[in-house]
Amino acid sequence: MRPTAATRTPDFTGLVLDGRYKLTRMLGSGAYGVVYEAIDKKSRVNRHSPSVAVKLISKTTPTHNGFSHTPLEISLHARASKFPNVVTLRRTLDDGEHSILIMDLCPGGSLGDHLVDRGAITDEQMLRTMFLDIVDAVVNLHQDGIYHRDIKPGNVLLGEDGRQVFLADFGMASRIESYNERCGTRAYMPPELLHSKYNQRPSAAHSDVWALGIVLLNMIIGIAPWSRASSSTRKYAEFVHNPRYLIERYQISPGLNKIIRRMLRANPRIRMRLADVRRAIAELDSFFCNEADGGNDDLTQDMPEDGRAAACPRDDGPPDDALTGHKPTQGAHAGPSPYTNHGPSKRGETIAEMMRSTLLAEIDILRASRTKPPMLEQRAQDCSAGLSLGLSPYMSAGGRNEGLGVGGVCSRASSGQTSRSSAVVATPEDSEAVVGKREIGQRMRSIVTRVKMKFRNN
pLDDT per residue, tens digit, the chain (458 aa), is 455 555 556 889 999 999 999 999 999 887 678 999 999 988 765 566 689 999 999 887 655 554 567 899 999 999 999 999 999 999 999 988 899 999 999 999 999 999 999 999 999 999 999 999 999 999 999 999 999 999 999 999 999 888 999 999 999 999 999 887 788 899 999 999 987 655 567 899 999 999 999 999 999 999 999 999 998 999 999 999 999 999 999 999 999 999 999 999 999 989 999 999 999 999 999 999 875 555 455 444 444 444 333 334 344 444 344 433 333 333 333 333 332 333 344 455 555 555 555 556 556 555 555 554 555 555 555 545 444 444 333 333 344 333 333 333 333 333 333 333 333 333 344 444 555 566 677 777 777 777 777 666 65
Per residue, the 3-state secondary structure of 127-150, as one string, reads: HHHHHHHHHHHHHHHHHCCCECCC
**Cα dihedral 115, 120, 123, 125 sign:** positive
Q: Which among 64, 70, 264 is positioned nearest to 181, based on CA atoms?
A: 64
101 - beta bridge partners?
A: 55, 92
Residue 22 makes CB contacts below 8 A (sequence gap 6+) with 14, 15, 16, 38, 39, 41
Architecture of domain 111-343: Orthogonal Bundle (1.10)
Q: What is the pLDDT of residue 358?
A: 56
Cα distance between residue 50 and residue 68, in whole Å: 31
Cα distance between residue 76 and residue 60, in whole Å: 22
Is 439 within 8 Å of 413 (Cβ atoms)? no
Cα distance between residue 220 and residue 34, in whole Å: 29
Is 317 within 8 Å of 194 (Cβ atoms)? yes
Residue ranges, comma separated, of all CATH 1.10.510.10 domains in the chain are 111-343
Global pTM value: 0.66
Cα distance between residue 35 and residue 323, in whole Å: 12
- Phi and psi torsions of 36, nearest 5°: -120, 155
Per residue, the 3-state secondary structure of 150-203, as one string, reads: CCCHHHEEECCCCCCEEECCCCCCECCCECCCCCCCHHHCCHHHHCCCCCCCCE
By three-state DSSP, how is residue 93 classified?
A: strand
Question: Which CATH code is given to the segment(s) 5-104?
Answer: 3.30.200.20
Is 329 within 8 Å of 386 (Cβ atoms)? no
DSSP percent split of the chain into helix, strand, coil, nearest 5: 40, 10, 45
Q: For the purposes of burial, counting CB atoms within 10 Å of the CB of 242, is it exposed (0-12), middle (13-18) or buried (19 or more)?
A: middle
Cα distance between residue 353 and residue 344, in whole Å: 8
Cα distance between residue 105 and residue 77, in whole Å: 15
Q: For the purposes of burial, counting CB atoms within 10 Å of the CB of 279, is it exposed (0-12), middle (13-18) or buried (19 or more)?
A: exposed
By three-state DSSP, how is residue 352 classified?
A: helix
The rounded Cα 343 to chain-centroid distance in angstroms is: 31
* Number of Cβ within a 10 Å radius of residue 266: 24
Is 250 within 8 Å of 220 (Cβ atoms)? yes
- Phi and psi torsions of 15, nearest 5°: -70, 145
Residue ranges, comma separated, of all CATH 3.30.200.20 domains in the chain are 5-104
